[in-house]
Structure 1
Amino acid sequence: MTEGSELRGGVNVVRRHGDVVHRPSSVATPAIHRLLRHVRTQGFDGAPEPLGFDADGNEVLTFLHGQVHEALPPELRTPDLLDSAAVLLRRYHDASATFETTPGDRWWLPARSPAEVICHGDAAPYNCVVRDGRVTGFIDFDAAHPGPRIWDVAYAVYRFAPLQAPSNPDNFGTLREQGHRAARFCRAYGVSADPVLLDTVTDRLRALIDFIREKARQGSEAFRSHIEDGHLDLYQTDIRYIDANREALLTTFGEE
């Protein structure tokens, strides 16, 4: 994202001015800013620093230098990038574990039990800053919410392995290669690649489908466009792909 540029994401328009970015705020922004300040005090430097709001009510944050990719290009489908994403997610989770929520906190996504950490909520290549072939930062914390570690890990595995059907435009690798990458991500993070992981991936996708439908029902044009563009069909196909290949993936996990 270059100086003075404008980036239109899946929901928001983000503008960069020098070393800061301006993004639309939401009801969750106050809690997210407290979260970002907290993780920085815990030594986590892989997230933007909140700087307040501009005259139009947009949130203002520091700009994280590096590259952001909608999906992983071939040159970044490496063990180093996979490991770095998993390690950074673990560091973020550990830093967020001591964040104290308040009754007044509002989150874009519902809190989930057990609330072990504050999930990023959308840890995927398009929200990762890459430098020298490694993930060095996370951006776009709009979907942050309290929840179990595995809820975030599962979605990251879905995006980074990726556990996606051949018809998904972001898909790459054979089923065996996907399984190996999923197991490697989990190992680098420090959790098991097991049946619980696969169950959580599909549960996470079903929750995403429900969320998109509800936002569209409430009048969000961005989420209506997601539906029109076939996002729900894509996620449902990926759920079927994971379910159909469950035993093969579990066997592959055991090879790592």
Structure 2
Amino acid sequence: MGEVETQLPGGTANRGRVVRVGDTVRRPLRPSGPAVHRLLDHLERSGFDGAPRFLGIDEHGREVLSFVPGESVTPPYPAWSMTDQALDSVAVLLRRYHEAVADFVPEDVAWAEPVPRAYVDGLVSHNDPNLDNIVFRDGTAVALIDFDLAGPGSALWDVATAIRLWAPLRPEPDVDDQRRGRTLTRLKRFADSYGLSPEDRTRLVEAATDNHTWCMDYVRRRAEAGHPWFHQRWSTGEAALTARTNTWFATQAQTLHQALLN
């Protein structure tokens, strides 16, 4: 009998196509795969234990990664995942990743999706520390997964991505869990827990705004290209939420910036 494949819950791009086989994960191979594999190899050599290991390509042409035990955060969000302690641990994990990747210098590799040039400073950032791309154990973030969008970026860009999703930075009526009413507190707390530099702190709100634009443009383009899950996401509320959030960023930028300085 062949090895048992168990479908894993996932995000949008690879929904239904990621499986667990024993202590491994099998995922579709992307054009940026060789670049990501070099990155994962570097993280392993550096002793960073917060990412899966690249193990090779299987007989079906899928990449094989080590399985990272734990829980990712998917709706309905469990109460423990919305706590300040969980938020702090995400910031610490992201900082550890940036320290581990700081001396990684990729050459002659193709990455998936370029980030705005203003946020590229030589560091290869994860670029998608979404709630379901972080593994927790006992309420503490222990690993980043899904490096499909990794590529040249910066610590600031990753922090902006993370805080936009984890605070979250969006209109208050669109926050339907225990984080409602705590956006400003969680924004500052994440920056403090990460240890964001004063210079990056002054740019964080602008970076989060630009990250929102970048991310939603990516979703829109994939939807228009016919990707079924991106199309479903965009057509069932994401487009309207994007428009509301664009307005929210424009009107709340000064308040958000001030919260970081208090």
TM-score (norm. length: structure 1): 0.89
Is 1:102 matched up with 2:107?
yes
Figure out how many residues of one structure are paired with residues of the other and give that number.
251
- 1:240 corresponding residue in structure 2: 247
Question: How much is the aligned-residue C-alpha RMSD, in angstroms?
Answer: 2.0
Per the alignment, residue 231 of structure 1 pairs with 238
Corresponding residue to 2:39 among 35, 39, 42? 35
Kindly state the Cα deviation for residue 252 of structure 1 after the two structures are TM-superposed. Answer: 2.7
Q: Does 1:58 align with 2:62?
A: yes
Match of 2:170 among 140, 164, 181: 164
**Cα-to-partner distance string for 1:199-245 (whole Å, 9 max, x where unaligned):** 11110111112222333344433322232222232233223223222
What letter matches 2:195 in structure 1?
G
Q: Is the contact made by 1:112 and 1:148 (CA closer than 8 Å) also made in structure 2?
A: no
Instruction: Return closer, same or farther for 1:112/1:95 CA change in 2, 3 Å cut-off.
Output: farther
* Stretches of structure 2 lacking an aligned partner (at least 5 in a row): none
Distance, in Å, in 2 between the alignment partners of 1:206 and 1:112 is 10
Distance 1:171 1:250 in 2: 24
Match of 2:131 in 1: 125
**53-62 or 229-238, larger mean C-alpha shift:** 229-238
AA aligned to 2:97 is Y
| Aligned residue type for 2:102 | A
Q: Which stretch of structure 1 is more off in the superposition, 215-224 or 125-134?
A: 215-224
1:90 to 73, 88, 95: 95
Residue 77 of structure 1 deviates from its aligned partner by: 1.9
User: Alpha-carbon deviation of 1:8?
Assistant: 4.6
* C-alpha deviation, 1:169, in angstroms: 5.3
Q: Does residue 189 of structure 1 match 2:185?
A: no
Distance across 2 between alignment mates of 1:64 and 1:200 = 30
SS in 1 for 2:110: coil
Give the Å deviation of 1:167.
Answer: 3.7
Partner of residue 222, structure 1? 229
Paired position in structure 1 for 2:13: 11
Give the 3-state SS of the residue equivalent to 1:60 in structure 2: strand
Mapped partners of 1:101, 1:217: distance in 2:
31
Of stretches 50-59 and 65-74 in structure 1, the one that deviates more from structure 2 is 65-74
Conserved? CA contact 2:191–2:201, under 8 Å: no
CA contact (8 A) 2:115 2:214 kept: no
Residue in structure 2 matched with residue 203 of structure 1 by the alignment: 210
Matched, 1:75 2:102: no
Q: What letter is aligned with 1:5?
A: T
Deviations 1:105-154 (A, max 9, x none): 11111155433311111102110101011000011110101112111110
1:151 aligns with 2:157: yes
Partner of 1:135: 141
- Structure-2 separation of matches of 1:32 and 1:98: 15
Distance in 1 separating the partners of 2:33 and 2:116: 19
Matched residue SS, 2:8: strand
Q: TM-score, normalised by structure 2?
A: 0.88
List structure 1 runs of 4+ shifted beyond 6 angstroms: none
Unaligned runs of 5+ in 1: none
CA contact (8 A) 1:112 1:146 kept: no
Question: Residue 55 of structure 1 aligns to which amino acid in structure 2?
Answer: E
